[in-house]
């Protein structure tokens, strides 16, 4: 298993600054894709499972705290990777999604609360909510398709939509029924996990070693490598087993609960994990978790946690999915390790918006298969609270939503020979400007603005990044080279680099082909969608998701700019409209107004307008709700506000939080209050819940 250096921060996601959150999400996206490629397509994990789970949990936690930074290629929206080996490809009838992970009983309680909030369950209804707990087998996910009771296809998970066809290989498994007996649908997908037992794994590696062949890293990779063979006879020689646990597509209902579905699978001849259990609340889940941890080492197969699913199939269907995961299921993973290393130095980094971030440079240490050399300390308060000093030994943990995290200073460091407490600078280490900490903020920021080289550099790097203008030939190294040559001092300068053709060709590493490729890539990005342009500007708090909301609401660049200039005035109609957009609010509105107040930002925009064509938002939806503004007020009886909002947006509507003349529909639940009264005063279209449901049904049919 290879080792990687990581630059991921160690502080809780809720305490990250906006710049740190965005930077770490970018790093994690690249890192997770690399790990997925190795794991899914090569059966050669680069890190252990616990570390991978921790990285995923870290990623999800940051996105939860900073939804404005959710990228188009977010790891939370993808499952696995596209298959790349010589096997044929197969498309699942229903996508094979992944599970969100939890690590403690508080997480499970929050899982239940999210379900309660989404479904609007009363305390009495909540008591009737049951879950199925199943040990999570550490194997290769498989999708089995049966038509008229006969197995016609088997495929791996792949990227969740398309997997590898391993039909002939799967038929070699001894505990797989090739035909279904008794009642069965015409078409059904049955899902499970192919695995190798611990004892069989040891025997297989002994055989591999005897024949001078590559050893498998663990049972999961042995199972994956064995099933994904081009020759079924190799698969037949491997001791593979199968547990099934889920249903994909089915043209007929099978059961009303997941428990009944598992019993039905057993009647068909499948093997389900015998340790599954019905539980009702967090206390029972915690007890079951401890029981499984106690049994774990004695089990004949590897598990890495327990999966908890809502038992009711009807509630599963109502809850649906969000991103890459179902709302009705979660995986409670087992804990990871802690190690001790030493802080060699604490240095200060300056980000795009001037944030001063302390970073602990560590003696390299292997934590769960990953070499960790850096850990961000976030701010001076964090350093003071934990009394962290240079040369201290510290306890580092990679678990849960803090990866890697400096838990505390190792007690052995508390001696008279400790270094002096770290003195956080009050001036920017790059430009020397005063570094201020505003009220209610924990981050100290350089006041130099665009006179600070670090901020200008980071701003241009952000502008060229994948999520923004995606100019692939303009990576960080190239940006810095041109910046120090003074060829680029602001974003628009990128589009004028052709004026420096001869200067660039004189630089080491640049020739006609590479320069031509660069200039071609730049010209290809002179047309830019509005949402990516807004994101590229680097306005504080504006991530990909928030940029999309703004672009969708204002439709064109000139409309957005005109409205934002007017929104600088607190209390103006434009400012109130901006704040009322679902997902924006006063804090983000303040940052946008501040951006448009700065003269140098307006100069930057004007300069970019001369170089670019900023494309209007193209609406694909048709129907009565397409491009309509909808406001919900009062309490809905048949669904929660979140559920209703998701439906409205899916049908092309814009959901806002306040009433205005521009509102197209007001949906009244019970006790609509002042919004309902204002809507009538303005003569707006008001629909009760029954009328709203009829409108939705007519649009969805």
Which DSSP string do the residues of 29-53 spell out, in sequence order?
HHHHHHHHIIIIISS--SS-HHHHH
Residue 8's pLDDT band (cuts 50, 70, 90): low
Q: What is the largest CA-CA distance in the chain?
A: 85
Q: How do residues 405-425 score in pLDDT, each as one tens digit?
A: 788 898 877 777 888 999 999
Model pLDDT, residue 669: 86
Integer Cα distance of 91 and 145 in angstroms: 11
Integer Cα distance of 488 and 38 in angstroms: 38
CATH superfamily ID and name for 449-525: 5' to 3' exonuclease, C-terminal subdomain (1.10.150.20)
Residue 10's pLDDT band (cuts 50, 70, 90): low
pLDDT at 592 over 80: yes
136 is catalytic: yes
- DSSP assignment of 197-216 equals -HHHHHHHHHHHHHTT-PPP
Same fold, 449-525 and 529-615: yes
Evaluated on CA atoms 418, 421, 427, 429, the torsion sign reads positive
Q: Strand ranges (DSSP E) for 196-255? A: 241-250
Q: Which of 136, 333, 548, 628 is catalytic?
A: 136
3-class DSSP state of 399: strand
The DSSP secondary-structure symbol of 434 reads B
pLDDT at 517 over 60: yes
- Percent of the chain topping pLDDT 90: 35
What does the chain come to in residues?
701
pLDDT at 218 over 80: no
Model pLDDT, residue 320: 87
pLDDT at 173 over 60: yes
pLDDT at 39 over 90: no
Residue 401's pLDDT band (cuts 50, 70, 90): very low
Task: For residue 102, give the H/E element and its range.
Answer: strand 101-102
CB-CB contact of 333 with 304 (8 Å): yes
- 699 CB-near residues (< 8 Å, 6+ apart): 623, 624, 625, 651
Model pLDDT, residue 290: 92
- 340 CB-near residues (< 8 Å, 6+ apart): 365, 393, 394, 395, 396, 410
Model pLDDT, residue 2: 43
Average pLDDT over residues 193-202: 90
- DSSP assignment of 645-673 equals HHHHHHTT-EEESS--TT--EEEE-BS-H
Residue 368's pLDDT band (cuts 50, 70, 90): low
Residue 116's pLDDT band (cuts 50, 70, 90): very high
Identify the residue with better confidence: 166 or 699: 166
pTM of the model: 0.51
Average pLDDT over residues 497-501: 92
CATH number attached to the domain at 89-333? 3.30.470.30
Residue 33's pLDDT band (cuts 50, 70, 90): confident
Model pLDDT, residue 130: 96
Which CATH fold would you assign to the domain 5-78+336-413?
OB fold (Dihydrolipoamide Acetyltransferase, E2P) (2.40.50)
Rg of the chain over Cα atoms, rounded to whole angstroms, equals 28
Integer Cα distance of 161 and 92 in angstroms: 6
User: Can you tell me which residue has the tokens 């939804």?
Assistant: 67
Q: Architecture of 629-700 per CATH?
A: 3-Layer(aba) Sandwich (3.40)
Q: How do residues 220-260 score in pLDDT, each as one tens digit?
A: 888 888 888 777 888 888 889 999 999 999 999 999 999 99
Q: How do residues 685-697 score in pLDDT, each as one tens digit?
A: 999 888 888 888 7
Identify the residue with better confidence: 579 or 270: 270
- List the one residue out of 75, 66, 76, 73 whose CA is nearest residue 19: 66
| Domain positions in the chain | 5-78+336-413, 89-333, 449-525, 529-615, 629-700
pLDDT at 315 over 90: yes
Q: Which residues pair with 150 in a beta bridge?
A: 147, 179
Average pLDDT of every residue of the chain: 85
Identify the residue with better confidence: 229 or 614: 614
CATH number attached to the domain at 529-615? 1.10.150.20
pLDDT at 9 over 70: no
Average pLDDT over residues 537-550: 87
- Edge-first strand order for the sheet with 393-399 is 5-6, 370-376, 356-367, 338-350, 393-399, 402-409
Evaluated on CA atoms 285, 290, 293, 298, the torsion sign reads negative
Integer Cα distance of 376 and 387 in angstroms: 15
3-class DSSP state of 278: strand
Model pLDDT, residue 66: 84
Task: For residue 285, give the H/E element and its range.
Answer: helix 282-296
Torsion of CA 574, 577, 579, 581, to 10 degrees: -140
Task: For residue 277, give the H/E element and its range.
Answer: strand 277-279
CB-CB contact of 677 with 601 (8 Å): no
């Amino acid at each position: 298993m290879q080792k990687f250096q990581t630059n991921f921060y160690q502080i809780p996601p809720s305490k990250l600054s906006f710049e740190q959150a965005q930077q770490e999400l970018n790093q994690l996206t690249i890192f997770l894709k690399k790990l997925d490629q190795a794991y899914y397509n090569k059966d050669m994990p680069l890190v252990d499972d616990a570390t991978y789970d921790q990285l995923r949990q870290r990623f999800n936690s940051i996105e939860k705290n900073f939804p404005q930074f959710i990228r188009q290629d977010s790891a939370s929206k993808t499952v696995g990777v596209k298959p790349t080996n010589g096997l044929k490809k197969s498309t699942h009838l229903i996508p094979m999604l992944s599970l969100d992970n939890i690590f403690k009983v508080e997480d499970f309680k929050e899982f239940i609360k999210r379900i309660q909030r989404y479904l609007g369950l009363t305390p009495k209804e909540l008591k009737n909510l049951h879950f199925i707990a199943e040990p999570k087998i550490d194997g290769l996910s498989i999708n089995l398709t049966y038509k008229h009771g006969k197995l016609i296809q088997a495929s791996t998970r792949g990227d969740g939509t398309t997997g590898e066809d391993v039909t002939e290989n799967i038929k070699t498994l001894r505990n797989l029924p090739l035909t279904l007996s008794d009642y069965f649908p015409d078409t059904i997908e049955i899902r499970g996990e192919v695995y190798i037992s611990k004892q069989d794994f040891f025997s297989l590696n002994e055989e591999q070693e005897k024949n001078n062949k590559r050893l498998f890293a663990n049972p999961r990779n042995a199972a994956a490598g064995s099933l994904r063979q081009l020759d079924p006879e190799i698969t037949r020689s491997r001791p593979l087993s199968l547990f099934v646990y889920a249903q994909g597509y089915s043209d007929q209902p099978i059961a009303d609960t997941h428990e009944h579905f598992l019993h039905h699978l057993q009647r068909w001849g499948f093997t389900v994990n015998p340790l599954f259990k019905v539980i009702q609340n967090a206390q029972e889940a915690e007890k079951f978790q401890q029981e499984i941890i106690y049994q774990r080492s004695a089990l004949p197969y590897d598990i890495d946690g327990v999966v908890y699913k809502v038992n009711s199939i009807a509630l599963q269907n109502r809850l649906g999915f969000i991103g890459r995961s179902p709302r009705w299921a979660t995986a409670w993973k087992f804990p990871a390790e802690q190690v001790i290393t030493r802080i060699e130095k604490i240095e200060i980094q300056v980000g795009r918006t001037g944030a001063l971030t302390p970073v602990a440079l560590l003696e390299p240490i292997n934590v769960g298969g990953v070499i960790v050399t850096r850990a961000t300390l976030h701010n001076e308060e964090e350093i003071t609270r934990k009394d962290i000093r240079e040369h201290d030994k510290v306890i580092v943990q990679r678990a849960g939503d803090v990866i890697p995290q400096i838990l505390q200073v190792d007690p052995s460091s508390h001696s008279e020979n400790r270094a002096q407490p770290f003195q956080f600078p009050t001036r920017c280490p790059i430009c020397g400007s005063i570094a201020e900490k505003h009220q209610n903020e924990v981050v100290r920021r350089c006041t130099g603005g665009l006179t600070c080289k670090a901020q200008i550099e980071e701003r241009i790097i952000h502008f060229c990044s994948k999520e923004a203008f995606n100019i692939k030939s303009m990576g960080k190294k190239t940006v810095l080279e041109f910046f120090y040559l003074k060829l680029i001092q602001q974003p628009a300068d990128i589009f004028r680099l052709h004026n420096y053709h001869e200067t660039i060709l004189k630089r080491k590493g640049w020739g006609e082909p590479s320069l031509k490729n660069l200039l071609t890539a730049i010209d290809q990005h002179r047309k830019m969608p509005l949402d990516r342009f807004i994101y590229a500007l680097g306005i504080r708090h504006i991530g990909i998701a928030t940029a999309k909301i703004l672009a969708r609401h204002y439709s064109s660049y000139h409309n957005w700019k005109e409205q934002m200039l007017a929104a600088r005035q607190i209390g103006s109609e434009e400012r109130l409209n901006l704040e009322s957009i679902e997902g924006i609010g006063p804090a983000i509105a303040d940052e946008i107004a501040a951006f448009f107040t700065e003269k140098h930002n307006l100069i930057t925009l004007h300069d970019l307008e001369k170089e670019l064509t900023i494309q209007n938002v193209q609406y694909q939806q048709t129907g009565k709700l397409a491009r309509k503004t909808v406001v919900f007020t009062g309490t809905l009886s048949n669904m929660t506000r979140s559920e209703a909002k998701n439906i409205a947006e899916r049908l092309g509507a814009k959901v806002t939080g306040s009433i205005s003349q521009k509102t197209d529909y007001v949906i009244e639940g019970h006790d609509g209050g002042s919004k309902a009264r204002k809507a009538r005063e303005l003569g707006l279209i008001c629909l009760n819940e029954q009328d709203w449901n009829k409108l939705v049904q007519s649009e969805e049919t």
